[in-house]
Each structure stands twice: as C-alpha cells, then as structure tokens.
Chains A and B, each alone.
Chain A
Amino acid sequence: MSMSAGTATPVGAPRRGWVLPVAMLALGLLIGLSGIVGQIALYWDDIVYLSQEHVVLVASSGGAAILVGVPVGILLSRPSMQRVAETVMQIFNIGTTIPTLAVLALSMTLLGIGFAPAFFGLFVASLLPIVRNTYAGLLAVPGHYKEAAHGMGMTPVQILTRVELPNALYVIFSGIRTALAINVGTTPLAFLIGGGGLGALIFTGIDLMDTGMLLAGAIPTAALAVLVDFLMGQAQLRLIPRGVNPLR
C-alpha cells in the first residue's frame, strides 16, 4: 500500500514530507482492519512483563560491557601495553567472527540456563566492538596533540582525560552504539537459553504459527532497537564536544 502511495508522487515534488506519514497510516489501517491489533492486545500483560526482562538484560549486559570494555580499551592503548595489545586485539577480532547465537550456546554449556548465561553471552558479544573502538580511537589521536600536552606539563592521566579521551570519544561512542545494536538484536535469542525477554513471544509465536503472538514480541523488540539507537545517536550528538564532533 505504501508503495502505491509513493509511486503516485509527481516527479520533482518534495516527497519525504508526506510519504512516510501516509505510508504509516496505510499500514496502520491495514493492521487495524485485519484485527491483528486485537490479537496483539491479548498479550499486553506478557508484553509488559517480558519487556521489563528484556530491558534488564540489555541494560545490564550492555552496561557491564561498557564498564569493562572502555577501561580495557584504554589499558590496551597505553604505550606500555603495545606488545601485548596487538595479540589481544587479534584474539578479540577472531572472537567477533563467532556468531552471537553460538556465543549464547557456548555460554549455556558453561553456565547452564537462566539469566546468568544470557547475561554473560550478551556481555561478551557487546564487549568486542567497545574494546576495539576504544583502542583504535585512542591510537588514532594524532601524536602531536599528545606531544603538545606532554610538553605543556600535563601528567599522563591529564593527557588521557583532557586530550586523548575527548578526541577519541566519537569513535568510542560509535563502538558503544554498534555494541548496543548487536545486544538489542541478540537479546531475543536469550529466550533459547532460558534468559527470558521478548524472545519468548517471538519463538513461541513461530512455533504455534500465531501471528498475533509473534508480532506482540517482534514489534516491541523492533521499537526498543530503534529507541536505543535513537538515544545513542542523541548522546553522540550532545555529549561530544563541538570541536571534535562531526555531527555538529
């Protein structure tokens, strides 16, 4: 439906202004008329409960990944770690190639089922992009900033906090954004190892061929992913100083 509305636009007319609302409206009408809204509404209590579980999983594993990943990235970027750092990053890079579902499965073999293996699997999956971007972002800060800071009498900690981190912040934030996108996208799989979350509705819906149930899980998951990305985008826009922020 949305396509026909789009193709009817005269060439050269401003499209973006109204196509999207109209398409949304058409989609909404379609869904409303097919009675799916009613079916989804049946699962409202489940949606609320499972969304909470889902958000707790995302926030705890993502938060832990940030709290661990950034300091590890900083540590690896220190000149004294130069020799070890490349090896560690190689291992991390290999780790990134393992599919997240496999990470969760491996986590289950270690920690059994429930919240703990789900948390751990998601934590590991989100850790890699954060460490990698923090490390790469700090190494990419041009040497002459560090030299100037050093020559002006900043201590190593001052150089890190006042010069290196602010200048690497955009890259670090991009890593966190990627990590959280992976995290939110992988969290529904946590259901498979007993971690709970909106995956319960999705997978059960698939198994029962119940479209309403499936959508009751899929739509909030999608909305959450969009919301998290939006919030990260806003944070990236507003928290990074103007002088080093390509978005401003």
Chain B
Amino acid sequence: MANIRELKAEEVYRRCDPAQFPFQTTEELDELQGIIGQPRAVAAIRFGIGIDSEGYNIFALGASGTGKHSIMRQFLEDRAAREPTPPDWCYVNNFAQPHRPRALRLPPGMGVQLRRDMERLVEEVRTVLSAAFESDDYRTRRQVIEEEFKERQEKAFESLRQRARERGLALIRTPVGLVFAPLRDGEVMQPDEFQKLPEEERKRIEQDVEVLQKELQDVVQQIPRWEREMREKIRELDHEVANFAVGHLIEEVREKYKQLPDVIAYLNDVQQDILEHVRDFLAPAEQPTSPSPAESTPRSPAGSPSLRRYQVNVLVDHSKSNGAPVIYEDNPTYQNLIGRVEHIAQMGALVTDFNLIKPGALHRANGGYLILDARKVLMQPYAWEGLKRVLRSHQIRIESLGEMLSLVSTVSLEPEPIPIDVKVALIGDRLLYYLLSELDPDFGELFKVAADFNEIIDRNADNEMLYAQLIGTLARKDGLRPFDRTAVARVIEYSSRLAEDAEKLSTRMQSICDLLHEANYWAGENGHEAVTAADVQQAIDAQVYRVDRVRERIQEEILRGTILIDTDGERIGQINGLSVIQLGNFSFGRPSRITARVRMGKGEVINIEREVELSGPIHSKGVLIMASFLGSRYVADRPLSLSASLVFEQSYSGVEGDSASSAELYALISAIAQVPIKQSLAVTGSVNQHGQIQAIGGVNEKIEGFFDACKARGLTGEQGVLIPTSNVKHLMLRSDVVEAIAAGQFHIYPVDTVDQGIEILTGIPAGKRDETGQYPEGTVNYLVEKRLAELAERRKEESESAREEEE
C-alpha cells in the first residue's frame, strides 16, 4: 500500500499569489492594448479584412461571451476609419419607365444636396412658371391664338349667316344643334304662313335650306380640326414660354453637377418632363383632386402629389460619415437586409413610387462592413438566401417577398439594382459554422475566412498580469471601483475554475465581466473603496446561492436518507459514483450509489440502465469496455461464466457518459471477490480495456458534491475521492474543500490504474501475477480469479450433467 498517493492542499487549488503583482489596485495599471489570448482569431480577422478578393467574408466562431462581437467591431471600425467614405445613393424617377426607378451614385454628401436642389428647383419652377403664364405677354399671345380660332369660326358662320340672310333665312341655335329657318319680319315664319306661300317659293326655300345645310355641315366638321390646330399652337407657345422660364434654372443645377454624367442625364429628363407637364405646376397646390386619400399621401414640401416625381429619395446618405461604414443589423429580416418598397393605401388600392423605396442594412453598409449574428440571419425566412444572393451577384436588387411568393399582387417597382461592395462578418457559435460548412455548398465559397475564438488561454505570469490589466480596463470602462490585487488574484482563480483547468484561464469575458460588476456591488455594500478578494468571494458565493436550490435539495435528501448514500462503513458490491448535473449555467456534482450483483451465468454483464433504455450510448460503451477488461484479465482461457448486473440506484432520468465506468468496475470486482468497499470514498474516472483510468470532465464539481454530502454528516477524516491522475491539473476546488484537505479531513487520491483504485477502496493489495502467472494469495485479483474459475468449473459440471441427462 506504499504506492498510494494523496494530493496535498496546494495540488488541488492553484493559488494566484497577490504578491506577484507590482501594484496595489488596478487604478495604477495602464489601459490594456490589444486583445488577450486570441492570436488565431485576430490573425484571421486581420487577414479577412485586408484581403480584397471575392468570397473573403468572415465568420467569427466561438463560444458566447468570448468577445467575438466587440473584437470584430473594434477591428472593423479601426480599419473602416482609414478607408474612403463610400458614395451616396439616391433613387430618382425614371421618366421613361416609372416602374423602374433609377439609381444615382453621388459623391458622399451630395445626395442630400441634390434632394435640396431638386426641392428648390421645383419650388422655383412653380413660381416662375405661374409668373410666366400669368404675364400679360403670355396672355396676349394666347388670346391672339384663341381669337384667331374664334375669328376663323366666326367668319365661317358669318358668311353662312350672310348668305342665309340674302335668301331670307336665319341660322338658329337649338339646344343641341343649328337650324336654318325662313324669317318673316325678323321672326321665324309660322308653319301655317309657310304653307300659305306659293309652291314655287316654298320649293326655293327648301332648296336654299338644303344647300346651306350642306355648307353648315362642312363648317361644323371643320371646327374640331381648327380647335386641334389651336391647341397645338397653344402647346407650342406653352413649351416655348416654359422653356425660356425654366431653362436657366435647370442650367444652374446642371452646372453644379456637371462632373456627374448620370445626374446630368437625369436633369435633362427632368427638364423634358417639366416642359411636357407645365400644367401640373400651374394647378393650385391646395386643390387635391380627391380629398380623402390625399391626406394619407405624404405631402412633399413641393406640395401637389404629382410633383412627387421630381423628388430625390436619398437612400444612403454619407454627409456625416467619416470613413467606411460599419453597420450592425440587430434584426436581420429579409427586408431589413435587402431593403423594401413600401406601399400606401389610396382609395383602397395599394400604390407606391420610388419615394417609398427604403434601404436595407446592405445599402447602408455598401462600401464598408456589415456585422450580423449568424443565428438571427438563419432564423429569418429568406434572409440567408437573400444575403448570399447579394454577395454572389455583387448587387442589391430589391424584390418584394410578397411578390416572390405570389402572396400579394399589387403595383410594385423594380428599382434599378445597386452595385455593392461589402464585407460581411457573421458571428455565431461553432456548431452553426460546422453545420453551414457541411450543409450549405455556397457557404464555403462566400465565407472563406473563419476566425476561431479560443475559450481558454495559458495561465502563466505574463497572462496573469495581462488579466489584471484587463480587469482594470473593464473596471474603468464600466465605471467600477478599482480592484485591489487580492481581488485580482481571486478573479484569476475564478477564471481558472471557469476554464476547468488550473493551468488555463477563461476568455469568456461575459462571465468575468458579470463577476466584476457583482463584486463591485458587494464592495459598495461593504463600504470598500476598492474591491477586495472578500468582495469577489462574496459575489461568487452569492452567484452560487442564487442558483443552487436544487443542489441544496439533493444534499438535504441525502442527509435525511431519502437518497441512499453511505459515507462510512464497508459494503460488498456497492460504491459511490459521482455525476454532474447542469442546470442553466450552474453545474454541481451529486454522488450516486452504484451496485453490482453476480451469479453464475453465461458471461454477460447486464447494464440495467441499458435494458430499460435509460443509458446513453457512451455509458453503454463504458460498461462493455469494462466487461471486456474483466473477462480478458481474469479468465482469458475460459468462458466468463457469470451473470452480473449493474445499476445506478435511485436514478430515474437516464445516465450518460463513461466517467462512472471505473466505479462500476470496482463494484463488480467487489461483488465477484466478495471484498467489501469503503463507503467513505467516492470514485470517478473512465476505464479502458487495459484497466487504465482515464480523464473525465467536471472533476471539481464531482469532488465538491461528495464533500458536501460528507460534510453534512460530519467529516470522519477517512473520506475522500478517487480521481484519474490526468485530472489533477484541472483541480480548482472550493476553499472549504481545500481547507479540509489541508487539515487531513478529506482526501483526494489520483489513480492511474484499476489496481491502484481497488487497493485504496478495499485496503487489500490488488496483487500482481508472479512468475507462474498466478496472483498471490490474499490479494483482490487472486480472489476474483478464484471465484471466476469456480464459476467456470461449476458451469462446466452443470452443462456436462445436463448433457448426460439428455443422453
């Protein structure tokens, strides 16, 4: 038993010595420059930002709280500030095809200017046009044209009337037409008078009327043509007057934008359109054609809705930007990414125009960077596909989802696509990254840079100092009290525990940050100027206390004997296993009783959990490995002739993981050899086919779980836990456990092999095969082998006698 090793207190908790820090409080420390412990991710981000080739978008992957977001943002903003400000984008009316608004690209800040210039232009055009069209000059010229028309008409009628008069006839207007009638004394002849006229006279009158009527018809037929001619002349006049009035106004604007051929082309179209729609400007502004819907129409500053077509819809305005944009879209729906075309209900119909085109995050990020949460993008219908389409085609085409799916059919627009140059940074957890790589063939092509964020860093003196600086920086940034060096040391120890490794530190800044805030709170409660280790400890304890109701309940039931756990005495085929329960962010250990029974049988080890499907695959695997070890070690040349059953007592919800396989093996060995096991010990660790004990997770919680059960009943000084030696480096135990170990009240035994474990548990040597291949008598292995041999012998006899009976 000389080879039993027990861990000392300093081995189960790696202290951080406050004396190593050359400062009293973090106030004395400089701001932390750079990022702790993410060299791989930082290199990837630098590369991803720097490279300017297709598909080099970035996916930042890592556990939540590792600072992916802030690091990404920091790098992008740093880079973006040194890049040129991208152009403004506007949508303007397409006068030739109004349903396909034109996109205009303008130097940064010019978009808003153009909008203002156009507003002013429309306002001025209205003023000058109404002045021009109300001027005497125009009126006179127009009157001349109208007079000419009237004169022409009048002449035609007058000559008709003249000839009629010569023949004693008059041209008379009826409600709907014109009639020739014979006159007598200035009045229309009475029918009976007419009848009294001589036949010849009547004939003559009728003939005259006939002839004149023909001529009248000709004249009446001419009138529409003359009218058309008149209107044409008036239109020409309008055009001439308007062109003169408006030309110089537009010329001024044109002069301002002469470097921009697109804008010039647009202004030319505007001029043409204004000249063709002069009347729109002359209509009084306060006279909407349909009163009720006009109220819902957004009134432009220029007034009448028909003048909306001269407005400029500034989609992206960089007048206040400095450098390239870095946009984070919190709610990346399809429409928030790609942009949308809104509609207005007018007289029960949905109408729209280019003024209702709204930009998406991609528009705003054009020429810069867009940060998105991968999970959010994937959760929004069509957003992921839309994003990929934009990245692939290098242009944003606004398409309505409703139309794409044929859900709505209403008047809509096809805005001219805008070319885009954007780098997208997706942020998500590892699982998403690997799933996307696996399942989406486009993903690899579009997101070629993976920035993998580490959750842990090495714990060494340099990193501890950096950590101290980080704590100082965070405290300063968030307006917390300074942390004294004991507090810093305690935070570093906590970080190690968080990393579940005494040789590492966690980079989950979210948890550290929470702890700092909470410790700051307690320091305030305790009236401390600077946060001390006691405050940090209080914060940790309070954190645990807030969430450990379930743990407390379990411990209570163990103490009361509802959950059967022995912490002293000896039992055959019974052992204390350890499991970890995770509830939200809090995990804790819980001892579980594992029992084994054996009898003669056909060599199977029955895992009762598995029989009832409460066993996970890894647990089942552990049991099979263990059974294989048992058979090959003790009865290599004979069939294993026992039937063993194993069970986790009082477990009702399934068992997973192989960390109990060593405990199960010990219980089985105890049952076979009929050697009692000390109940003051608990066991964790998995076992392989050669009987070596392998590392497991959650070692700290497991030890603490058993410690709590023992402590509640009173420590006997015998109690302890067997852990795999390879887990020793992970130990960062709670302070009360460490104290008990230091006082010799509690023991941690690192174990490498099954033999070591069985010796500690039974107090009997395990035994090694001697030269003859036999285990020494009185050792556990000897007993096991003997029992198995007996069973095999008995089974052989039984099967022989059974055969004899058959014969």
| A and B interact physically | no
